[in-house]
C-alpha cells in the first residue's frame, strides 16, 4: 500500500519530526511511504517521490519542513484539482496524509468531495485554531520562542522603565497571545475574540505606577492590527516611553521542543494505525487523548478559546 504525505499552508516546527516518524513507521507497518513536495502546488505539478530512510536522517531537530509547503491560488480552480487527482492516480497512491491547518483542511474537503481520495489529516499550525482540537503541531515550539523573546525584552524594559508592546502571530486567533500573556506574567493581553477596556487598564496602571511599577509588558495579537496604537496609548495616556516589537516569523522556526517531537510522533502513529479501518478522518487531540473526527465536523465548526485561560487573562484585558 502506498501512502503519501504533504505539508500544507504555513510551516511549523514539529513537521520534520512528524515526517521522520511517517517514513519509519510506514516501513515498520509494511507500507510504501511517498513525499509530495511543495504542498498543494507540488501536488498539482506531480512532485511525488518515494521516501527512504536516508531522506529523514538527522531531521528531527530541524524546524520547518524538508518537503516544503505552499499556499496555492491554482487550487481554487477545478482544472488544477483534477490535475492533482490525476497525479495521485498515476503514482497509485492509496492514502493521502496532510499536515496543515484550517485552510488546508478546507482545501482537502473540496478535493475529497470531488474525487474521493482516501485521506488522514493531522493538525499542524502555530495558530492552534482548529475546532474541536486543543493542540496542533508547532504550537509548543512557537510558545517557547515567544517566551524567550519576552524574557529578553523584559530585561531591557526593566532597565529603561519602558512599556513594550509585543505582537504575536495567529491571524484572527488570539491563542498565542493569550497563552503567552498568562504564562509570562504580562500586564496586558489584547486578542480579537474579547472586547477589552483600556479605561479600566489605565486606572489600574496609574495606581500601580504610584505604588512603584516601573515597566510594562503588553502582548497584542496580530489580528487586531493595533500594535502601534497601543504603543502610542502607553505614551499618551500612561506617560511611559514605549516600544513596539513585532515577533513575526521567528515564531514559525526553531528546533522542535521535546513535547513537539513526542506529540508529532503520536499524531502520525494514530493516523497510520487507524486509516485502514476508519479512513477519511482528522486526527485531533482533545482532553489528553487522540480522537478521530469527520472532516465535515471540523470544517463546519467554529474554534473557541479555552474558557479557563480567558478567565485568567481578564484582568490583563481590563475586565476584572
How many Cβ atoms are within 10 Å of 64's Cβ, its own excluded?
A: 19
Which member of 11, 127, 129, 140 is catalytic?
127
Q: Which residue do the cell numbers 484550517 mark? A: 102
Distance CA 92, CA 90 (A): 5
How many Cβ atoms are within 10 Å of 163's Cβ, its own excluded?
A: 24
Q: At what angle do helices 15-28 and 258-274 cross, to 10 degrees?
A: 40
Nearest to 172 by CA among 97, 103, 116: 103
Q: Are 13 and 253 in contact (CB under 8 A)?
A: yes
Beta-strand relationship, 289-294 and 281-286: antiparallel
Cell of residue 269, nine digits = 502513529
What pairs with residue 188 in β-bridges? 218
Residue 155 annotated to the active site:
no
- The residues that are catalytic are 127
Amino acid at each position: 500500500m502506498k501512502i503519501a504525505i504533504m505539508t500544507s499552508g504555513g510551516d511549523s516546527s514539529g513537521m520534520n519530526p512528524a515526517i521522520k516518524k511517517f517514513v519509519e513507521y510506514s516501513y515498520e507497518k509494511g507500507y510504501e511511504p511517498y513525499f509530495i513536495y511543495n504542498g498543494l502546488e507540488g501536488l498539482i505539478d506531480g512532485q511525488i517521490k518515494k521516501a527512504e530512510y536516508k531522506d529523514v536522517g538527522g531531521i528531527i531537530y530541524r524546524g520547518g519542513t524538508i518537503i516544503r509547503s505552499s499556499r496555492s491560488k491554482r487550487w481554487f480552480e477545478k482544472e488544477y484539482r483534477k490535475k492533482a487527482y490525476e497525479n495521485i492516480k498515476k503514482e497509485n497512491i492509496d492514502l493521502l496524509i496532510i499536515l496543515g491547518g484550517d485552510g488546508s483542511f478546507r482545501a482537502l474537503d473540496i478535493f475529497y468531495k470531488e474525487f474521493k481520495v482516501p485521506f488522514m489529516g493531522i493538525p499542524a499550525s502555530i495558530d492552534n485554531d482548529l475546532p474541536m482540537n486543543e493542540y496542533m503541531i508547532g504550537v509548543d515550539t512557537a510558545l517557547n520562542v515567544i517566551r524567550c523573546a519576552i524574557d529578553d525584552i523584559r530585561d531591557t524594559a526593566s532597565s529603561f522603565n519602558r512599556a513594550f508592546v509585543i505582537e504575536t502571530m495567529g491571524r484572527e486567533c488570539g491563542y498565542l497571545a493569550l497563552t503567552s500573556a498568562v504564562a509570562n506574567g504580562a500586564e496586558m493581553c489584547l486578542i480579537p475574540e474579547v472586547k477589552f477596556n483600556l479605561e479600566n487598564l489605565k486606572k489600574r496602571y496609574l495606581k500601580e505606577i504610584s505604588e512603584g511599577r516601573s515597566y510594562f509588558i503588553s502582548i497584542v495579537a496580530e489580528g487586531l492590527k493595533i500594535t502601534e496604537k497601543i504603543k502610542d496609548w502607553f505614551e499618551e495616556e500612561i506617560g511611559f516611553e514605549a516600544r513596539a516589537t513585532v515577533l513575526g516569523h521567528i515564531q514559525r522556526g526553531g528546533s522542535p521542543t521535546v513535547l513537539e517531537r513526542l506529540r508529532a510522533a503520536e499524531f502520525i502513529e494514530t493516523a497510520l494505525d487507524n486509516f485502514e479501518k476508519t479512513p477519511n478522518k482528522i486526527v485531533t487531540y482533545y482532553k489528553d487523548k487522540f480522537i478521530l473526527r469527520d472532516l465535515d465536523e471540523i470544517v463546519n465548526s467554529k474554534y473557541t478559546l479555552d474558557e479557563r485561560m480567558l478567565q485568567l487573562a481578564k484582568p490583563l484585558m481590563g475586565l476584572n
